[in-house]
Structure 1
């Protein structure tokens, strides 16, 4: 024996093996385990006199056929007929649930089940028939301690940026530190930013967050945010579950993953949230966890695994495989023999913790559960940190779950710490929002209106003497209420009520509560004297504490959130008596303490559980109403603010104009309307110099994006094209109706592709326009005077030729002043025609021609696409268009794009919106009622949509030009469409069109009327 002990200790895992543990194992292998079927697992002859060990007959064969440390998984073999080729294995549970004829996928082949036998599934090739996918059950590995520490460190680093409101810095740090792309970094910052706003802190290994909220049944969910990994969180969840069980005598549902754990509290459990960390102590945590593990499935599984490793339950018997069901039954029988207290009937079990037998198999199984399935050492270290203050604890009562709760609330069966199936989980009663909350107000506090509403509902509001009597029975005592005096006097005359005169003033009471009042207020004088019925007089007298509890219970039920001082004033009880009564009610689960009324600053409040659940429900209902679809009228009100047309929402200055261009880029409308109606409506005190500065600096460019329709037809521009054709004879003469668009210069290439597709512009025939085009192609960008000299054309021909090229979408200019000059060319040439002729001269005077800085140049061609990259280019283009539409309208669906001129099919844009939703850039949902199809919105647009819904309708009048993108009459609102023609106006009152008509607007008038 000594030699064997020395040999075993030479192995590193057993270098510290105690002799007592070695002797216990030797004794088990020598004596075996006595069961009803005889002795099991005896493989050694032990000579205690001489200290010699010898193997029993058959021990060597057992070791060879059943030895091994890999546990038995009980999988079924899958055998293909007719040659009985083993093609794989499937899980036992899946095999038992399968039937002959089922088709499943194994590897890359579909198989049809012929028959399910004991431990065997016979199959044939299903010849490619559509299969189902089998499942395998197992124990999911937890995140390692090292990786959990890195996750915590990442959260801590990001929390620093979020506390400084530096989302851009957080995104840049993530991209540099973790090697993430921009989209992934944006999603992480957005997700953790929403969690930080909701909780006030990001959970790390130094900051533990306890969050509690109501579910739909009136119960509560307690989520502990702890990024310590699954092993520590499982240990913490099991230990807390055991402590709750001992305190409330009720088994809780619980689940844990790598980042959090959840305990589902029923209506009977009510404790101060701050007391939860004190439930566990580092000195007793291991014992508590060991007791919790006894009833968990992981103990039974590891017991069976250890019996197999110890050769007590054999894998092979008589040359054949011992069936897994038989192995499980044998393991259960051995459990009853070795650990009878665990297998005993619970009715006969002694109260208190279960004592562990001193047996090596039990000790090894407990050790495996504590150090493999869970991490008891990590749990003890965590509790020591909480006790020492190195791990900070934070407590949050939220109206609905924070974003970090969603994963654990939707946890799959591998996260469960109890045996309740998925369909019976109380976490399924928690309503979760689809998107992230935009403000901490959404989660961090209850709604003031909900609190006021519940207080109003809870307050007694009697309509006759009977209801006054009923209220007095519930309240025990009540201060006199003038509105109830007549009914109270009626009750006094009938002997059903009286008044208790105290030093603090009179109190009303019902006769049936006389004994309670006498115990509650010993020195009070009852006026008039009343006599109890014999049945009530025969009951035992209540003590003062019970009377105080009854009075406080009644008033808490009628007040909603209240303080100790308020209860004391209503009942004339001292604060100490009220606090003692509240403590008893809290232990019963009747009241909860916290800070519930946002209108109050500081102070601990108490609220009846039923009323608090109603407040939470009303708060959640309000939040849900805010994300319910708005009407088309409210959507128009939203658009007027989203595009800064509504009063007091205009942008300011040069940068404000740049933001307007960025929002409207790609939308084509009459050239003369941009500075008459569009920019003045969106930019306060608009000045044309701002636009010239942006154009000449290279930030903004103007051009006609779409293609001019052939003569006799209407293009995408609709009314604008009609006006252009009528007013400008095909675009040769400068016309204010010619549609143009503004854009950021960097976005011009993809906007061309989105507006033109594969088509190209129609080139001009012989004439001034053709000469100008060739001149620009040959010499590049030129000033107006250079074009006159280079082509040898008259100025009027050059101006008409330039505008012809503009209307064809072929040229642009550095500044917008050239467009203004061209649009006024006819007036200038008419004035010149009225002057007397001066004769021909070579020298020109300053100011002749187009008086504006900037050169004319050809527009770039859209980048050609090769066949291989066409699909990717379409996706990229569709995403750019989708992002632009989201920026323009905030909420995008098919109907709202009726006036857009992009040629890209809606289906491509729709798929792009779906991809943006998957990346977290946009949200899908139902935002506007009355329209079919999918809808998507920017997160900031959703919040503004809510604000618009809440905003009172005051009859606000907003006028917009008919060419404005916000002319959505007949598209979003009922009625015929209003043609998008210059001079037409749309008048909105609270988002509804109330008037429309034609009115000629000059630049100054437009600025005044549309601001």
Structure 2
């Protein structure tokens, strides 16, 4: 039956071709020894490009010469085929391969075709027709494709891939993200610090969180000297994004090669004649100077005023320092968001006289390091957006609207979407419905999606794995890629604010702590989950030497006399907190 249908189809085609020839709309010609039927409009092209003898009686209008007859024929072949070999075109038209290759190269220069390796099994020249058997495709022969045909093939292939991916629940992404950012298997040494900074390049985080929470959770043996070595050697640059109460501020870290694309644009230029303007003029030479040198250069009254002006410039995105020491010194003099307890000063005895500095004695706000201008920010928005899109993929694994919006990037999600869509067409990532409830505008590399799916396929997730993070840490998915869970019985809403903490249990948000732990929002009533959360909170606070935490309220109610307060209070006590009249307190013993 199939054979009869095929025979019938051939007969019908022959009938139609005969009708076209009789109507003078097509002509019979011989191309490369094979009888073919061609549109009469191509008569002149076939004669001039291939030397084909034409039948008599063709109207003169169809015999007029054209500018590029062979280019027209080859371009049409490309438009009506998928990826093909030049040898196949040569066999079809009875031409030498060199002539066809030159024609294709001209078309490629005009942007009409492109070359490469598009198919897993390249077609042999015999697929072109009866005469093609004389030509054998080499294993490394370049394939060609019309640019518009290739674009359509890519878009249809990507659409098919998107439809084949089953989205994972948001909880899977919440488990995936901390591991993606090296919290589950921390890095080691100064190279680990550099790797962590590269993944977090350009993200503003409270200065007090960088060395108390963010870097130590990613690098198991982290010490401040590692960061200082990277900054003093010029491998890493830090930049300010605005001051916070308590001598804290938003700070980002940047690998030097990425800094022009990730440093913030500087705020308005200081008023002429101001100390800030004089400092910028002094630093414009390109050098790096200690604060004392800048005082001499500017003729300022004292070094304190110079340091204060430098911090004004730092928070407005103008200057930086070649160590992190000034930030540490600044933080030690105020109530920063993630305050770390200071060690008691060491005492020395000289001839029976104590030389220990009193803990309350005033100290310089700047303890060293040389100040310089930040690298000049790249002004081309397209180049910045391209680098930012690549960093987003590296930072989050899966880029969503929420993760882009949480960073406040110039151009917002619309700009990032355009760049990531270009990445998709180039094969660098895929777009699709990767995480449930977050829309179809999500981007990730294929390998990342496969890795993410392993977190959705866990039949038995790690038992009660808790993790305490700064709310502003990019490893916290809530308030960014994922929305905050809601409690209808509480008016207070969580946010990605400086000084706030979150505790995740198996990726789910269990606790949210306001600054200093005074207000707690509990998003689970499960006692075992709360036990894991409070234990990790206490362990983290002790390990990172955070200042005193005092929990006074849970879900808007006092800690005493309520069911929620009683349960959480008991678990806090198990973790090492102490009951006080105000609530439950965990003090840091020096």
Task: Give yes or no for TM over 0.5.
Answer: yes
The answer to whether the aligner puts 1:643 opposite 2:181 as a matched pair is yes
SS at match of 1:740: strand
* 2:35 corresponds to: 71
SS at match of 2:284: helix
Distance in structure 2 (CA, Å) of the matches to 1:685 and 1:832: 31
2:324 counterpart (813, 816, 821):
816
Distance in structure 1 (CA, Å) of the matches to 2:200 and 2:257: 15
Distance in structure 2 (CA, Å) of the matches to 1:981 and 1:895: 16
Contact persistence 1:967–1:980 (CA under 8 A): no
Q: How does 1:473-512 map to 2 (within 5 A)?
A: none
* 1:981 corresponds to: 497
Deviations 1:261-281 (A, max 9, x none): xxxxxxxxxxxxxxxxxxxxx
* 2:583 corresponds to: none
How far residue 912 of structure 1 moved from its aligned partner, in angstroms, is 0.9
* Structure 2 unpaired stretches of 5+: 1-27, 44-57, 69-75, 91-113, 140-144, 151-156, 336-341, 343-356, 487-492, 518-537, 547-590
* 2:351 corresponds to: none
How far residue 963 of structure 1 moved from its aligned partner, in angstroms, is 2.0
Contact persistence 1:78–1:87 (CA under 8 A): no
Contact persistence 1:762–1:808 (CA under 8 A): no
* 1:961 corresponds to: 470
2:390 counterpart (867, 883, 891):
883
The answer to whether the aligner puts 1:229 opposite 2:124 as a matched pair is yes
Distance in structure 1 (CA, Å) of the matches to 2:307 and 2:85: 75
* 1:309 corresponds to: none
Contact persistence 2:29–2:36 (CA under 8 A): no
Contact persistence 2:313–2:319 (CA under 8 A): yes
2:161 counterpart (431, 434, 439):
434
Distance in structure 2 (CA, Å) of the matches to 1:993 and 1:946: 20
Q: 1:88 to 1:820 in 2, by over 3 A?
A: farther
Contact persistence 2:211–2:224 (CA under 8 A): yes
Contact persistence 1:657–1:690 (CA under 8 A): yes
Contact persistence 2:479–2:496 (CA under 8 A): no
SS at match of 1:947: helix
Deviations 1:609-653 (A, max 9, x none): xxxxxxxxxxxxxx96xx41111111111111111223xx21111
How far residue 782 of structure 1 moved from its aligned partner, in angstroms, is 0.6
Distance in structure 2 (CA, Å) of the matches to 1:1008 and 1:834: 20
Q: How does 1:629-778 map to 2 (within 5 A)?
A: 629-646=167-184, 649-704=185-240, 706=241, 708=242, 724=244, 727=245, 735-736=247-248, 738-752=249-263, 755-756=264-265, 760-763=267-270, 768-777=275-284
Deviations 1:236-269 (A, max 9, x none): xxxxxxxxxxxxxxxxxxxxx8xxxxxxxxxxxx
The answer to whether the aligner puts 1:930 opposite 2:437 as a matched pair is yes
Deviations 1:165-220 (A, max 9, x none): xxxxxxxxxxxxxxxxxxx99x97xx99xx8xxxxxxxxxxxxxxxxxxxxxxxxx
Q: What TM-score, normalized by structure 1, do the two folds share?
A: 0.35
Q: 1:1008 to 1:642 in 2, by over 3 A?
A: farther
How far residue 762 of structure 1 moved from its aligned partner, in angstroms, is 4.4
Deviations 1:296-350 (A, max 9, x none): xx7xxxxxxxxxxxxxxxxxxxxxxxxxxxxxxxxxxxxxxxxxxxxxxxxxxxx
Distance in structure 1 (CA, Å) of the matches to 2:82 and 2:224: 70
Larger radius of gyration: 1
How far residue 781 of structure 1 moved from its aligned partner, in angstroms, is 1.8
* 1:920 corresponds to: 427
Q: 1:686 to 1:835 in 2, by over 3 A?
A: closer
How far residue 658 of structure 1 moved from its aligned partner, in angstroms, is 0.6
Distance in structure 1 (CA, Å) of the matches to 2:83 and 2:503: 63
**Residue range with higher mean Cα deviation, 779-788 or 657-666:** 779-788
Q: What TM-score, normalized by structure 2, do the two folds share?
A: 0.58
Q: 1:768 to 1:823 in 2, by over 3 A?
A: farther
* 2:293 corresponds to: 786
SS at match of 2:504: strand
Q: 1:801 to 1:630 in 2, by over 3 A?
A: same
Contact persistence 1:973–1:992 (CA under 8 A): no
Q: 1:1006 to 1:892 in 2, by over 3 A?
A: farther
Q: 1:138 to 1:902 in 2, by over 3 A?
A: closer
Distance in structure 1 (CA, Å) of the matches to 2:30 and 2:260: 71
Distance in structure 1 (CA, Å) of the matches to 2:475 and 2:320: 26
Distance in structure 2 (CA, Å) of the matches to 1:138 and 1:815: 60
Deviations 1:89-147 (A, max 9, x none): 9xxxxxxxxxxxxxxxxx9xxxxxxxxxxxxxxxxxxxxxxxxx9999899986549x9
The answer to whether the aligner puts 1:805 opposite 2:343 as a matched pair is no
How far residue 697 of structure 1 moved from its aligned partner, in angstroms, is 1.2
Deviations 1:50-85 (A, max 9, x none): xxxxxxxxxxxxxxx999967341425599xxxx98
2:166 counterpart (607, 613, 628):
628
How far residue 955 of structure 1 moved from its aligned partner, in angstroms, is 2.7
Q: 1:802 to 1:71 in 2, by over 3 A?
A: same
How far residue 833 of structure 1 moved from its aligned partner, in angstroms, is 11
Let me know the Cα RMSD of the aligned residues. 4.8
Contact persistence 1:795–1:849 (CA under 8 A): no
Deviations 1:370-418 (A, max 9, x none): xx2435x979xx9xxxxxxxx9xxxxxxxxxxxxxxx9xxx99xxxxxx
Q: 1:694 to 1:628 in 2, by over 3 A?
A: same
Distance in structure 1 (CA, Å) of the matches to 2:81 and 2:237: 62
Q: 1:760 to 1:806 in 2, by over 3 A?
A: closer
Distance in structure 2 (CA, Å) of the matches to 1:74 and 1:786: 85
Structure with more relative contact order (C-alpha pairs < 8 Å, separation 6 or more): 2
**Residue range with higher mean Cα deviation, 689-698 or 795-804:** 795-804
* 1:4 corresponds to: none
The answer to whether the aligner puts 1:861 opposite 2:376 as a matched pair is yes
Aligned residue-pair number: 406
* Structure 1 unpaired stretches of 5+: 1-64, 90-106, 108-132, 148-183, 196-224, 235-256, 258-297, 299-368, 383-390, 392-406, 413-429, 436-622, 709-720, 729-734, 837-846, 865-872
Distance in structure 1 (CA, Å) of the matches to 2:81 and 2:423: 35
Distance in structure 2 (CA, Å) of the matches to 1:140 and 1:877: 34
Distance in structure 2 (CA, Å) of the matches to 1:832 and 1:774: 38
SS at match of 1:880: helix
Distance in structure 2 (CA, Å) of the matches to 1:67 and 1:939: 49
SS at match of 1:899: helix
Distance in structure 1 (CA, Å) of the matches to 2:543 and 2:404: 26
SS at match of 2:251: strand
Distance in structure 2 (CA, Å) of the matches to 1:696 and 1:801: 22
Distance in structure 2 (CA, Å) of the matches to 1:140 and 1:774: 60
How far residue 950 of structure 1 moved from its aligned partner, in angstroms, is 2.3
